[in-house]
């Protein structure tokens, strides 16, 4: 699961596979070009990238959803 999870803090960027993820500044995240404000303790789902972001303090955990077998074929 480590390949499907990325933990970042403000001003950090990374990738989950081909999907670009980042924390532009405290409380503002980006996934595959989509952006959103996120409050402490909140979880957001980005449908286009298939990524869920959870904020705990100043740590933002990006988790890529598993690809279903029917989508992979």
pTM: 0.86
- Per-residue pLDDT, averaged over 6-17, amounts to 96
Residue 70 lies inside a defined structural domain of this protein? no
3-state secondary structure the chain: CHHHEEEECCCEEEEECCEEEEEEECCEEEECCEEEECCCCCEEEECCCCEEEEEECCEEEEEECCCCHHHHC
Q: How far apart are CA 64 and CA 3, in angstroms?
A: 9
Residue 19 included in any domain = yes
**Domain housing 28:** 2-62
In a domain, 28, yes or no: yes
Residue 66 has what pLDDT? 80
Residue 72 inside a domain? The answer is no
Q: What is the pLDDT of residue 15?
A: 95
* Number of separate domains in the chain: 1
pLDDT at 21 over 90: yes
In a domain, 67, yes or no: no
């Amino acid at each position: 699961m480590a390949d499907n999870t990325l933990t970042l803090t403000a001003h950090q960027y990374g990738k989950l596979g081909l999907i670009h993820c980042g924390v532009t500044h405290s409380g503002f995240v980006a996934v595959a070009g989509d952006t959103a404000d996120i409050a402490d303790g909140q979880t957001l789902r980005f449908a286009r990238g298939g990524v869920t972001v959870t904020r705990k303090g100043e740590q933002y955990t990006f988790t890529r959803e598993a690809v279903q077998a029917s989508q992979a074929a």
